[in-house]
Amino acid sequence: MSSENTQKTRPPIIVVLGHVDHGKTTLLDRIRSTYIDRARSVAEREAGGITQAIGAYEIERKGEKMTFIDTPGHEAFSIMRACGAEVADIAILLVAANDGVKPQTKEAFQCIQDAKIPYVVAINKIDLPEANIEKTKNDLALLGVYLEGQGGNISWQGISAKKGEGVEDLLDLLSLAAQMEDFTYDPASFAEGVVITSGKDSRRGMYAGVVLKNGTLRQGDVFATPSRAGNVKTLENFLGVQARSLEPSAPALMFGWSEVPKVGEVFFAGGDPPAGGDAEVLQARAREVETKLHHREISTKTGEDVLRVVLKADESGSLEALKGIVSKIAESEGNLHIVRADVGQVTETDIKHLLGKRGLLLGFRSKVDKAAMNLARGGHVRVYTSNIIYELEDHLRACLREMFRKPVGALAVLAIFGERHGNEQVVGGRVTLGVVRNQSGFEIQKEGALLGEGKIKNLQLKKKDVSEVLDGSECGMFVESTAPIEAGQELFFF
């Protein structure tokens, strides 16, 4: 049991939230390079990059430690909170001075308010000629963020994350906020923390990147989340160095999971039985804490009027963030169905789920193997990957707009004339809907399945060149297409 005289001060756990492209990654990289990279150990360089999977790092500055969470953004942070995990102690609300408050700035601020944690504001990109700090302050006031000097009490700092200007002053503000809050832990208590990333290493098996909030985590400890349990086989700090024990607020990589744990779950850990570490007891405690568990329901609507989506990500924290965004779109649009969501590179298996359907594969920081790419091209499956999560969101919305727009014309293919040469052939058909215009692009479909795309190079009616053909008329077309066109297929014009 914890008691006041056993409490010790622990470092703050800090998260950076804000609009995409406002400099979150640049700021985290600046702090990391200033305080970690110069003293980076050989062990970390030899770790093959897996230490990056922790999703957090720790710095020591002026004799004080700070932990920074490096996740895909406020979407992932919100998902962690939805699982009952109050992972961060302090937030940095980042706003670009040249761009002001944007939609995701508002979402980030709402996330901070929901978490009920203290925060400071960093106004970034003050070095740019178009930077307007006063306008940015006014934008924040309209959002309800009243800064010091603007009639409020929220501390703020102008910075250039790219050049390093003001970053040290920002860290001073964070240090002051931590001193005022006085975060503590009980070293004798069961270890308690949050899973912020997870995945599978080909050599060492399942792992979780965790941040410790209380107690002491030791190699050999029994541990449990609400859905998983195991023994700590290997424990590594954020530099990839093996450790026998870690104290809050240390980020760590834990091996010893029988299954990949869920991001956002709380975990408890203790010594081997009978010293107190009973997996069932620990799991019951974790389930007790997880009172805010909330799973968004993903649309299960199926049929030709639904876009089937496969999601892939480099690790489970990224995947959960991507699923959260896509689930929101599914809830609002209703014509979207996630058929598969998995960690790792894109393979042929992922593509096979989308063959012959209205489908899209979205990959967040995931590579596409050669066999999968060849199958996608041959099967006309759309694949889009990005290292920026909101680019994936924008691409998905664009695909929905494109795929579910109403065709302006349709043609039933009745006959093929002559041989196909390269990508070109002559097609005859009847216009069954609207109007078909010369030089228009089209999709080749059969029974709702997308077979390819093409464009009219020449359009004829009664063997005369024309600019358009109306519903009910038969015509001939010289076309260029990505797949052979056959009688019985339909061409749709948008």
Given 371, 388, 403, the domain boundary residue is 403
* Counted domains in the chain: 4
Where is pLDDT greater, at 283 or 89?
A: 89
Q: Supply the pLDDT for residue 134.
A: 94
Q: Same domain, yes or no, for 118 and 92?
A: yes
Q: Which amino acid is at 239?
A: L
**Which domain CATH number covers 481?**
2.40.30.10
**Residue 294 in domain:** no
- Share the mean pLDDT of the chain: 83
456/55: higher pLDDT: 456
Q: What is the pLDDT of residues 27-79, one digit of tens each?
A: 998 998 888 765 444 334 333 344 456 778 899 999 999 999 876 554 555 55
DSSP state of 190: P
Q: Is residue 361 included in any domain, yes or no?
A: yes
190: CB partners within 8 A, 6+ apart: 214, 215, 268, 269, 270, 276, 277, 282, 285
Kindly report, residue by residue over 195-252, the tens digit of the pLDDT: 888 888 878 888 988 999 999 999 988 888 887 888 899 999 888 889 999 889 989 9
For a pLDDT cut of 70, what percent of the chain falls above it? 85
CA 441-444-446 angle, 5° bins: 155
Do 178 and 51 lie in one domain? The reply is yes
- The confidence band for 298, taking pLDDT boundaries of 50, 70 and 90, is very low
Classify residue 437: in a domain, yes or no: yes
What are the phi and psi torsion angles at 428 (to 5°)? -120, 145
Give the Cα separation of 472 and 480 in Å (integer): 23
Q: What is the mean pLDDT of residues 408-432?
A: 95
Q: Are 265 and 225 in contact (CB under 8 A)?
A: yes
Same domain, 10 and 135: yes
Q: What confidence score (pLDDT) does residue 47 get? A: 39
- Position of tokens 């029988």? 258
Contact 162, 179 (CB under 8 A): no
φ, ψ for residue 357 (rounded to 5)?
-125, 165
Residue 285 has pLDDT above 70, yes or no: no
**Residue 300 resides in a domain:** no
| Strands, E assignment, 344-440 | 359-364, 382-386, 409-421, 424-437
Does residue 418 share a domain with residue 389?
A: no
Query: What residues pair up with 199 in beta bridges, in sequence order?
Result: 207
Report how far residue 494's alpha carbon sits from residue 472's, in angstroms, rounded to the nearest whole number.
18
Crossing angle for the helix pair 24-35 and 167-181, to the nearest 10 degrees? 90
Same domain, 135 and 29: yes
Residues 219 and 252 in one domain: yes
pLDDT band at 98 (very low <50, low <70, confident <90, very high): very high
Give residue-wise pLDDT tens across range 474-489: 999 999 999 999 999 9
Q: Which domain holds residue 375?
A: 307-403
* Distance from C-alpha of 184 to C-alpha of 214, rounded to nearest angstrom: 8
Q: Band of the pLDDT at 109, cuts 50, 70, 90?
A: confident
Instruction: Say how many C-beta atoms besides its own lie within 10 A of residue 60's C-beta.
Output: 12
* Nearest CA among 219, 207, 216 for reference residue 249: 216
Q: Tell me how crowded residue 142 is: count the other CB atoms within 10 A of its CB.
A: 9
427 or 277, which is more confident: 427
